[in-house]
Amino acid sequence: MTIQVIVLNGGSSSGKSTIAHCLQAELPEPWLAFGIDDFVASMPPALQESDSGIEVTADGGVSVGADFMRLERAWMAGLAATARAGARVIVDDVFLGGPRSQERWRGALAGLDVLWVGVRCEAAVAAGRESVRGDRARGMAEKQAEIVHQGVAYDIEVDSTRTASRDCARTIADAVVNGSP
């Protein structure tokens, strides 16, 4: 099996984006990295704080509406098409819907060889990172730290609580290079 897509799932501020960038340096071939934050940022401002788009509450809760879901399906299909066209792709996402989120990705990535990676981080550590970042609603990291993993099946898991992003990336890259976790 030659892995074509790596999907990183973890809560806000768990280190997914940094691990994705480290993976690009660790993997022997070029990989494109796409993150849910980039997708949200690409949405029109009117959908970034609306019932039909994505809404983040003051306590860090996140809800998504019909327009978000429609655009997310298109984004997923686009990333899958990119992989089918021959590019290797790293996806950094937050499975707010747990196994339902993973099933949406499984549908979009059908026929591709995918490595499913859980990126864990203790809630208190993620909350500390969130505070330092300053670009997230307080409470988001703590709310998402465990719930995004419930019911989700992984090929491999890394824990960025006390492990450097580069070391997490090396563990994942080893699984990719060896063809299996």
Active-site residue list:
37
The structure tokens 């501020």 sit at 13
For 81, other C-beta atoms within 10 Å of its C-beta total 12
Distance CA 46, CA 55 (A): 11
Contact 28, 22 (CB under 8 A): no
Instruction: Determine the Cα angle at 101 with ends 71 and 62, to 5°.
Output: 70
Directed axis angle between helix 66-84 and helix 99-108, to 10°? 40
Distance CA 65, CA 22 (A): 32
Rg (CA), the chain: 16
Q: What are the angstrom distances between the C-alpha of 65 and each of 3, 56, 168? A: 32, 12, 33
Distance CA 47, CA 173 (A): 36
